[in-house]
Structure formats: structure tokens, C-alpha cells
Amino acid sequence: MTSFSFEQIGTIHSPYKEKFAVPRQPGLIEDGGGELHLHAPYNQPEAVRGLEDFSHLWVMFIFHQTMEGGWRPTVRPPRLGGNTRTGVFATRSTFRPNPLGMSLVELKGIRCQGQNVILQLGSLDLVDGTPVVDIKPYLPFAESHPEARAGFAQHAPEANMPVEFLPQAEQQLEEHARQYPHLRRFITQVLGQDPRPAYRKGEAAERDYAVRLLEFNVRWRVTGSLNQVLSLDKD
């Protein structure tokens, strides 16, 4: 067996402060963008010269929050209800022999300010603080195959679970509307994905959940097939 070591080239800054409620793929949440901050010695404008000519990037990253759990030969994909076991190499599971992930994201801009080189990214499926080990430009002619077959994930997951903001949450939305004009849409789209564990879906009993998004601790209650946002308190 051969082992390899990788250098971290940067860190992701995203609105998702924990794994819970992170969308399963980029592009599913309209306002879920973030940034990639490059680290020294890779934070040089020369290293990203010409990158602005590409609209999308492959971001190679480390599953740093699950890597200590090791790998599993079979996993239960959420898209199959969390009950069917599938080979790890037939999934995007985080529990892999090597904790490497890849994500296709939109490149919205590049900021070079002194020693800072920051890539402004579109919708992410990465938790805040994710270590990045490489980036590569996306080549549409080579990597876009609309006719490709994708097993159990041929189409995007449904994101139609209704979301209702209760009075306290409505008041808090209004208080933060100037600084966060799209906060309602962002929370609605995140919760509309129904981020609960697969084994919790379909439960009849009411249950409260919480997740940290942006600078907020968002609390909501699942009642039947409805998400009711109780509050969004600033951290």
C-alpha cells in the first residue's frame, strides 16, 4: 500500500456552521454562497491568473468532520430512504477510505487584497471551515454529459416541504431584513429540503430541531409535513 500526504491550500467560509442541513449538492439553495480563502504560500495572484475566465470550479476538499469515523464498505444513502445498503464507491458518502470530496461550484469573482486571495463562490454544499486541497477549472465540453445515467440520483431531490414562520420568527426576520435581505428565502429553501435524518422522515409526532445558519441559531418544529420556524436568534 502507498500513502500520500496533501497540503491544505485554503479554507471554505460558508453559511452552514454544522453538517446538519447542508444541502446534498451545490445549486440546490439559491442564497447559499460563500468564499474560499487561500493560504500561504498559495495566496498569490499569480496562482489564480486566468481563473476568472472560467464560470465554475471543481473544489477538492477534506471531509474533516467525519474522517475520524473511518470508512464503511456499505452505506445507507438518504436518497434511498436511509434503509437500503449500497457500496460506498457507488455513493457520495463521507465515510470513505480516504476522506476526499469534490464539489462543482460557480465562481462569481476573485478578490486579491494584499496577502489575501479570496474566491467568491456560488451555492455551496460545504460546511464552514472545510479544508480545501485543490481546485480545478470546470471544462463543459469534457465534463457535461446530459445523457449520463446516475443510478438512484438521476434528478435533483424534491425541495417542496412547506415552511411557515411563526410570529417570533417573523419579527426577527423583520429586524434583520436590512442586513440579510434574503434570509427568509434562504431559510425556506434550506428547510424545504427536509434536512432531517432519513429515519426521522414520516414520523407522526411533533419534534423540534435547531441548526446554525449564517449568524443565527434557527429553531423549527416539524408538524406532519410542515416546518414551522419558531425563532432565529443571533449567535
Q: Which tens digit of pLDDT belongs to each residue from 189-232?
A: 999 988 887 777 767 778 999 999 999 999 999 988 899 999 99
For residue 209, give its domain range: 163-234
How many domains is the chain partitioned into structurally? 2
In a domain, 158, yes or no: no
User: Looking at the domain assignment, is residue 1 inside a domain?
Assistant: no
Residue 157 has pLDDT above 70, yes or no: no
Supply 14's cell numbers.
Answer: 460558508
Q: Is residue 148 part of a domain?
A: no
Q: How many CB atoms lie within 10 A of CB 85?
A: 12
The alpha carbon torsion through 129, 134, 140, 142 (nearest 10 deg) reads -140
Query: How far apart (Å, rounded) are the C-alpha atoms in residues 235 and 232?
Result: 9
Amino acid at 130: T
- Tell me, yes or no, whether 21 and 112 share the same domain: yes
Mean pLDDT across 12-29: 88
176: amino acid identity, one letter:
H
The residue assigned the cell 471554505 is 12
Q: In angstroms, rounded to a whole number, what is the distance separating the alpha carbons of residues 73 and 48?
A: 38
Residue 5 lies in a domain: no
How far from each other are the two terminal CA atoms of the chain, in whole angstroms? 46
- This prediction has a pTM of 0.88
* CATH for 80: 2.40.30.70
Whether 128 shows a pLDDT value over 90: the answer reads yes
